[in-house]
A and B are shown apart, each in its own frame.
Chain A
Amino acid sequence: GQQVMQIPQYQHVQEGEDFTTYCNSSTTLSNIQWYKQRPGGHPVFLIQLVKSGEVKKQKRLTFQFGEAKKNSSLHITATQTTDVGTYFCAFYNQGGKLIFGQGTELSVKP
């Protein structure tokens, strides 16, 4: 069935560096959601994108949905230790199920 691939699987950065995770699909997606899961925590919804080429910002976080609606990215500017966690992209398939990517685990060295 439909799925998304996230890269990289792991990312280690120095505090203050930027970070980007990518979410790729071989088929067109109707929507993309992003979730963050802190270590030992549960996934927390960050944002949803539905329009081709859509860009949304939340403070230091920038989310993009590709023009072809087959990929998405999450970019964090000037990472902080509070950004540590795993970032998941997810999409609703035609059957109404939310399908999650494998996630990108971000660690930040102070």
Chain B
Amino acid sequence: DAGVIQSPRHEVTEMGQEVTLRCKPISGHNSLFWYRQTMMRGLELLIYFNNNVPIDDSGMPEDRFSAKMPNASFSTLKIQPSEPRDSAVYFCASSSGTSVYNEQFFGPGTRLTVL
């Protein structure tokens, strides 16, 4: 299996621009998670999906952030408009959901820089 795939790996944009991050989970996994990692705040869960349905989006910082999962093999995290404080590494992770406490498989991340 190729593992969790994320694109782009690096994104540099200017303040006010729309940013779209993409994720393909491991085939057969039914849970998908979006995390943000910064030095100040560590690893934060933004939102997670179960069977393509958003379950908890309480970690989404504000209305500028939105996430979708139109099918089991694809998810997007969109920031519109972007701000410099959104600069971070964004990870997507997936898990199989076969037990209550599942290990999560992380993608390589997207390093976002907003100028």
B25 within 8 A of A: no
Given contacts A41-B108, A95-B56, 13 further A-B contacts (CB under 8 A): A33-B101, A42-B106, A42-B109, A50-B101, A88-B43, A92-B101, A96-B56, A97-B48, A98-B33, A99-B45, A100-B43, A103-B42, A103-B43
Question: Which residues of B are in contact with A by a Cβ distance under 8 Å?
Answer: 33, 42-43, 45, 48, 55-56, 91, 93, 100-101, 103-109
Question: How many residues on chain A are close to B (CB under 8 Å)?
Answer: 21
Query: Chain B residues with Cβ under 8 A from A97's Cβ?
Result: 45, 48, 56
Nearest CB of B to A103, in Å: 7
Q: How far is the CA of A30 from the CA of B109 in the complex (A)?
A: 28
Q: B100 and A98: CB pair below 8 A?
A: no
Which residues 96-110 in A have Cβ within 8 Å of B in the complex? 96-103
Q: How far is the CA of A101 from the CA of B42 in the complex (A)?
A: 8
A52 within 8 A of B: no
Q: Which of B42, B43, B56, B93 has the most CB of A within 10 A?
A: B43
Q: How far is the CA of A102 from the CA of B109 in the complex (A)?
A: 18
Contact residue among A33, A41, A88, A100 (Cβ-Cβ distance under 8 Å from B103): A33
Question: Which residues of A are in contact with B by a Cβ distance under 8 Å?
Answer: 30-31, 33, 41-45, 48, 50, 88, 92, 95-103
Given the interface pairs A42-B109, A102-B42, the reply to whether A48 lies near B56 with Cβ below 8 Å is no
Q: Give 29 CB contacts A-B under 8 Å.
A: A30-B101, A31-B101, A33-B101, A41-B108, A42-B91, A42-B107, A42-B108, A42-B109, A43-B43, A43-B91, A44-B106, A45-B104, A48-B103, A50-B101, A92-B100, A92-B101, A95-B56, A96-B55, A96-B56, A97-B45, A97-B48, A97-B56, A98-B45, A98-B104, A99-B45, A101-B42, A102-B42, A103-B42, A103-B43
